[in-house]
Structure 1
């Protein structure tokens, strides 16, 4: 039994393919199903080049254990949390490595009502089962479904503000070639803002640097755009 070093205190995060790959993702899916005992699980992925294949393997593991999988596609982690609660699912898994280097990937897990799963609430049980790799066969294989919660998600976001009271503004948005630009596009027609969009196209190669705003060099383009358009 090889230790899965991709398991951290609050999520899964590791270098692809050494620490996280399709085989490991499939085992994690089966282990999650065994520990959480869900009937329906939402999955989604970020823009990283390995995310779609890792999500597919994760979904395969879930279905092997009899879980119906609802795929919301390219999304942010917060959209998984929303979809899990909004659609009344038993759990959700986001395939994402946040702002880690581009050769990394990972997963974030929630159970029903989008309650997070971490080291003290079942994550290490999932780790142990995934490492062991021995699972009881399900009576019936689960099914894969597509799920679109984008309109409901936008409505949810807009419910936090009084849109009628907002004044026209120019706002610089640097998506860092990640998936956040898609949400800006969905919100744009509902808001009285002119968005100045930088690095807006999703690109898992991250040609303008890993989308980590904590790095000063990654804020330069936005700073210059504010000065130009302000």
Structure 2
């Protein structure tokens, strides 16, 4: 009996193939997805992993046997699948394990209009049905599967949202990490005034060059070296399913994602003055200030796309950004898309003459620690101990929206939050100066460890 409690996670179904996830389970998930959504038609896409075609075929067969027609949209990034779901107004399925190792694969699900399906909105029910083997019997007249490639329409839609045609010519190094950006970047960038320096564009789910996870600094080194070596104006690094994008400036330095949140928020607020912008608890205070300075209303969220997307809908927010490199757009069915973010940054860079390092300096105001993990046996007790240490009246305020956030009157703050999957506490610290940030970081780590 498969361990569905480990396979069906908070945001998707994901595990090692075939030990945890196989074609039989994918077919059952296909039938259960039709039960959950009540759909008579769905759309499915897949990434470049060697196990993706068989899982996609099995999922589609399960959906067919439950009576639904399937549009097979072929190879694509996760945000390509969101485009398909949004533009066709159909529930969507993406076969991908994002940045996970080569032996893994997974299934991301959304309702029509790219509305997310997470643990609280359907995945828990699918897990229960799988655990009890409560799978619908095949119908008398099964549905059909039809192939339809929407890559050109996806590229045209993104280019309709950001006008990059009038920018100065830019040299752009792109590390696709052997993931889906190698398929989508040429389509989206075609015809733009960009000199492309492609890296690892060959689709290869074994990830022969490095992990397709740009959140890890080691996976950015090849791109940083290429930017310096070729004199590129900017470097773009995508993760395996190409829904996240990270940026390297012309000096080879990684741009803090919080600076990108501020930059794109300012651009989106220029189009929709007074709108809400969602940010999570570990986004820089600079981004929050910039949102306010541009007439927006900052709304704070827990870390994670299900929380971000729920608040995007609740507040009709024009934009949302996370420090993990996920960026959400009202113009894109409130879904996250690294490619649309890349177009915004290219437009902002190409519309003026300064290099990227100077441009993003306008959106980076404070010193940040980056995320520091500590293994902790008693997580609730440790959080209580740290909160008690900073409960001095007048000096600091504390809240528990997501872990523990303590904010000081002098502009320093820290967030200490538990990992969803490991016995870890994750610490992020920010301060007006490197010295003030470092002192607070060391103080908190002393309490935690």
In the superposition, the TM-score normalised over structure 1's length comes to 0.95
Shift of residue 81, structure 1, vs aligned partner: 0.9
Counterpart residue number, 2:42: 41
Residue 214 of structure 1: how far off its partner (Å): 1.6
Alignment of 1:1-230 (within 5 A): 2-4=2-4, 5-89=6-90, 91-133=91-133, 134-230=135-231
Residues 76 and 151 in structure 2, CA contact (< 8 A), matched pair in contact too: no
* Residue ranges of structure 2 left out of the alignment (5+ in a row): 232-449
Partners of 1:74 and 1:61 lie apart in 2 by 20
Partner SS, residue 164 of structure 1? coil
What's the secondary structure of 1:182's corresponding residue? helix
Deviations 1:45-97 (A, max 9, x none): 111111111111111111110110111111111111110121232x0000000
The question of whether the paired residues in 1 share the 8 Å contact of 2:43 and 2:72 is answered with: yes
Give the CA deviation at 1:218: 1.3
Whether the aligned pair in 1 keeps the contact of 2:3 and 2:20 (CA below 8 Å) is no
Distance 1:25 1:136 in 2: 15
Distance in 2 (alpha carbons) for counterparts of 1:189 and 1:18? 40
The structural deviation recorded for 1:2 is 4.8
Query: Would you say the 8 A contact 1:28–1:127 is kept in 2?
Result: no
SS in 1 for 2:121: coil
Q: Name the CA shift for 1:13/1:2 in 2 (closer, same or farther; >3 Å).
A: closer
Distance (Å, rounded) in 1 between the aligned partners of 2:215 and 2:114: 27
> Which string of whole-angstrom CA distances, capped at 9 and with x for unpartnered residues, describes residues 131-184 of structure 1?
333323324201000112112111111012122321100010000011111111
Deviation at 1:211, TM superposition (A): 0.6
Q: Structure 1, unaligned stretches of length 5 or more?
A: none
Q: Is the 8 A contact 2:2 2:20 kept in 1?
A: no
| Higher RCO, 1 vs 2 (CA within 8 Å, ≥6 residues apart) | 1
In the alignment, what sits opposite 2:269?
none
Aligned length: 229
Cα contact 2:71–2:145 (8 A) shared by 1: yes
Q: 1:170 to 1:2 in 2, by over 3 A?
A: closer
Measure, in 2, the Cα distance between the counterparts of 1:132 and 1:60: 21
CA distance in 2, matches of 1:207, 1:3: 30
Cα deviations by residue, 1:107-128 (Å, 9 ceiling, x for unpaired): 1100111111111111111122
* In structure 1, distance between residues paired with 2:178 and 2:23: 24
The separation in 1 between residues aligned to 2:24 and 2:11, in whole angstroms, is 21
CA distance in 1, matches of 2:187, 2:79: 15
Across the aligned residues of Structure 1 and Structure 2, the Cα RMSD in angstroms comes to 1.3
**Distance across 1 between alignment mates of 2:64 and 2:138:** 11
Provide runs of 4+ in structure 1 moved above 6 Å.
none
